[in-house]
Amino acid sequence: MYEKYSRQALPSRKYRELLGSAICVYNSNNSFVIENILRHNEGEKYNWYKLIDNTSGRLATPIKETITKSSDTQIAFLFDQVVEVRNRIIHSFQVTHNNEQILATKTKSGVQFIITEEYLYEFIKENENLSSLLHDFREY
């Protein structure tokens, strides 16, 4: 598929919409994790300016020292999972599959796979689960 703004081949509009939605819900949760870290930040060890500049993987220690310390490992575990899937999406590559443009990726162990619409829907669903956990943890 082509658009007026690009001569390069693109995936379908629906696929791009899902891809954009996946990134948006992830970004929302990344900010929500930071908000919850700051709410349980004893001794003002962390601040928003430094946390927002961290890669998501580097939030593991602040999460452990704040959110996990005040609850359990459920949020940390799910956040790690969505970070890994997000990394697969962001570090993907475009391929032609069944005569359509789509993204593919590979695991760190080298296993390659297509990022299907179902994969994106599942990622969005897992982000919804994480958001619910973060809302419950925040308690309002």
- Residue type at position 12: S
Q: Does 12 map to a domain?
A: no
> pLDDT (tens digit, 9 = 90+) per residue, 23-61?
999 999 999 999 999 999 988 899 999 999 999 999 999
Query: Whole domain around residue 61: which residue ranges?
Result: 26-138
- Asked if the structure places residue 2 within a domain, the reply is no
**For a pLDDT cut of 90, what percent of the chain falls above it?**
89
CB under 8 Å to 134, separation ≥6 — which residues?
A: 29, 32, 33, 36, 75
Judge whether 98 lies within some domain.
yes
What confidence score (pLDDT) does residue 70 get?
Answer: 92
The answer, yes or no, to whether residue 76 has pLDDT greater than 90, is: yes
Confidence of residue 140 (pLDDT cuts 50, 70, 90): confident
Number of structural domains the chain divides into: 1
- Using the predicted structure, report yes or no on whether residue 131 has a pLDDT greater than 90: yes
- For the chain, percent of residues with pLDDT exceeding 70: 99
Residue 101 lies in a domain: yes
The pLDDT assigned to 43 comes to 83
- Please say if the pLDDT value at position 78 is more than 80: yes
Residue 8 lies in a domain: no
Q: Find residue 105's DSSP bridge partners.
A: 113
In a domain? residue 113: yes
Separation of alpha carbons 31 and 27, rounded Å: 6
Look at residue 18 and tell me if it is in a domain.
Answer: no
Global pTM value:
0.92
What is the overall mean pLDDT for the chain?
95
| pLDDT over threshold 80, residue 7 | no
Is 7 among the domain residues? no
- Distance of alpha carbon 103 from alpha carbon 120, whole angstroms: 11
